[in-house]
A and B are shown apart, each in its own frame.
Chain A
Amino acid sequence: AQSVTQLDSHVSVSEGTPVLLRCNYSSSYSPSLFWYVQHPNKGLQLLLKYTSAATLVKGINGFEAEFKKSETSFHLTKPSAHMSDAAEYFCVVSEDNYGQNFVFGPGTRLSVLP
């Protein structure tokens, strides 16, 4: 069965400093992996996705993530945080062999300090 672990429930960074949000997954098959962002009172928005192409994936708003099969990780990074990045971030795994439903991690709340 699929599962996702997001090691940090809350990450706080200063504006202009790097962001690292950690995600580890468990999957029996070759997974597809996604990062979604959820701003308060707004819907979930896709940041980026990995679907067995390049292991370094670039997304919107300067975010990127690297798929590391040996470490079963898919950490999200950004070189320089902006105030508007403050939100909840969800790592998601999907196994096509199990159908199409997404399995979400518990989320990491990112705070950006001025």
Chain B
Amino acid sequence: GAGVSQSPRYKVAKRGQDVALRCDPISGHVSLFWYQQALGQGPEFLTYFQNEAQLDKSGLPSDRFFAERPEGSVSTLKIQRTQQEDSAVYLCASSLARGPNEQFFGPGTRLTVL
């Protein structure tokens, strides 16, 4: 079953807590993306990796957001000192190579900050 997987599927955090969201891309996919989808809106780009290199992090909303992909496969999105406005679905996607390729999306992690 070689789709993109994300964990946890649901996360509830108290304001001020740190959270870590995990993404397992499709094996062999070079590119990995994180998006944030607020309720009733389209996903918005956060950051992009090619293998282990983070080539674009222009979408990260603040320095509380940090992403890594140390071995070029699994990626973790970390949010420090969570705020209520961080509540959203966080989507991970992967694609095979450079260029305008189809991105394969995971089911997302729904983060609720109380």
Interface residues of A (CB under 8 A from B): 4, 32, 34, 36, 41-46, 49, 51, 90, 94, 96, 99-107
Contact = CB atoms under 8 A, between A and B. Distances in A.
Nearest to B42: A104
Contacts of A104: 35, 42-44
Chain B interface size range:
20 to 34
Contacts of A51: 100
Contacts of A100: 31, 33, 48, 95, 98-101
Interface stretch (B20-28, B65-73, B74-82, B104-112): B104-112
Given A34-B102, A44-B105, A101 B33 contact: yes
Nearest to B107: A43
A96 B44 contact: no
B62 interface: no
